[in-house]
Amino acid sequence: MTATPSAEERLARTAAARPRGTRTQVGGARPDDARFERRAGRATPRALTDVETAGRAAYALRGNDRGRLTVAAPGLYPHMWSWDAAFIAIGLARLSTDRALTELETLLASQWRNGMVPHIVFSDGDASYEPGPQRWACRELSADAPGGPATSGLMQPPVHGVAVRRVLDAARRAGRAEERAAGDRIRALWPALLAWHRYLAERRDPDRRGLLTIYHGWESGLDNSPRWDEPYSAVVPAAAFVPFQRADVHALGSVGGAAAQRPTDGDYARYQWLIEELRQARYDDARARDTLSFLVADVFSSAIFAAASEDLAGVADELRLPGAAELRGQADLFRRGVAATTDDDGFAADLDLRTGRTLRTPTIAGFAPLLCGGLPAARRRRLVDTLFSPDWCGHPGLAVALPPSTSPSSAAFDPARYWRGPQWPPMSWLLIWGLERSGEPEAAAVLRASALDQLSDGSFAEYYHPFTGEALGARSQSWTAAVALDLILTN
């Protein structure tokens, strides 16, 4: 039996096969389609080769490893975040499917009894993060909260099914023994994965729109995106409410960051008040829908849910697990729900469930159909053309041709402030993955090359300034390192 190569051996093989400075191509595709011609033209030579970047990414993940979980970033994010963990598992699968599955097992061990996967699982020994376990008080307020490590009372986008698919694929490539071992562990996780998807389909889409309801911008993962400006305007903290002290700005300052890279104090007062409203609702979904100031149908999370359901249905077929038809039904419903929000060019929109207003904002979430499919071919092509237009990847001021989180043409664009303009590597990864699976390999290859340009700085920043290329936010961010590994070692 052939031994499974180590992470170092895999990196060495990649080094031997790829000349210094060359770019990864996808499925033999070349980015020479005239539709995808680069307009920015400001990319600088790579600081590191792909192999050097991958080696440094593996080192960053090892440094953030706490045994059975990987913290999102040292200092600023000292705990486990839900969709971060899914991306981390995707990257770890390139090095060790065993460790990748441990990441998912640790997260799902803190699943709520109603099926929700919490957006934070708190690690021991770091009480600096706010809001911390005492602020959430989940066990004290909800019988559904888990009895193990403390958690938050919110969720994040359900990338986990995509991660399971990627881990199983990586195990299959590694050999039959690793494939069998991974299959056995996925079987053990299957009830939790099904419960998570049922929670989303039943509790977060009770009206069967095919769109997930979120209770807080944090649940979208895109905390202060202009997507939420209008619904947040209706969130008014009580006069007697005293916001808790923020820890994020101080932690960011320790790595040379600044308050201008984070949501404002006014944003945080609303975020904190929504936690108080959730506490008053005792984290009950029915009560939350009736009482919360913020209630929005999130098109981007819905697209991820559709794609993840489809991926899990394929896993169910391969491992002969229950629920494949149910998962495909979820994928179909949410694919239709996402498509129903789109304009003539295929650009998607959110829905404010409190006012009934469509929230059509020029943010990266508008490209949701590229993740889940469902558009006619002509509209999909128009959406891809929009992605590479001067409003997005073709903007002449970009350091690398990747989509900013908000279009530079928007009045709400802020190139340094969190989700209001910076480029985020996991969002680039999602679009690359979505373009590949939707039959747009040339477009995916262009974004892949640009993403590797950006990641070659080796900082694995949380996000990047779209015009200067400056690393912003946390450094050695685990999900950034993880997507770097996956993009480099895909071939």
| CA distance linking residue 35 with residue 388, whole number of Å | 8
Token duo for residue 36: 């995808």
CB count in 10 Å sphere of residue 409: 12
Token duo for residue 335: 């694919």
Query: Which amino acid is located at 95 in the chain?
Result: L
Catalytic entry in 144, 179, 219, 223: 223
What angle separates helix 160-174 from helix 82-92, to the nearest 10 degrees?
Answer: 10
50 SS3 class: helix
Q: What is the DSSP letter of 221?
A: S
**Cβ(213)–Cβ(297) below 8 Å:** yes
The dihedral built from the CA positions of residue 480, 84, 94 and 335, taken in this order, carries a sign that is negative
Task: For the sheet with 350-352, list strands across it.
Answer: 212-214, 296-298, 350-352, 358-359
Half-sphere exposure of 383 (CA within 13 A, CB side): 29
223 catalytic residue (yes or no)? yes
Q: Report CA-CA distances (Å) from 67 to 95, 99, 107, 120, 437.
A: 16, 9, 13, 17, 33
**No. of helices (H) and no. of strands (E), the chain:** 20, 8
Q: Are strands 350-352 and 358-359 parallel, antiparallel or unpaired?
A: antiparallel
Catalytic entry in 103, 285, 311, 462: 462
Token duo for residue 396: 């002449």
Residue 249's closest CA among 239, 237, 241, 257?
Answer: 257
Q: Is the peptide bond before 131 cis (omega within 30 degrees of 0)?
A: yes
Across the strands, what pairs with 121?
Answer: 80, 151
Identify the burial level of 442 via C-beta atoms within 10 angstroms of its C-beta, where 0-12 means exposed, 13-18 middle and 19 or more buried: middle
| CA distance linking residue 182 with residue 97, whole number of Å | 7
Q: Are strands 120-121 and 80-81 parallel, antiparallel or unpaired?
A: antiparallel
**Cβ(283)–Cβ(142) below 8 Å:** yes
| Structure-derived torsion over alpha carbons of residues 440, 17, 61, 108, reported in degrees to the nearest 10 | 50
State CA 445 to chain mean position distance.
20
462 catalytic residue (yes or no)? yes
**Cβ(447)–Cβ(397) below 8 Å:** no
Positions marked catalytic: 223, 462
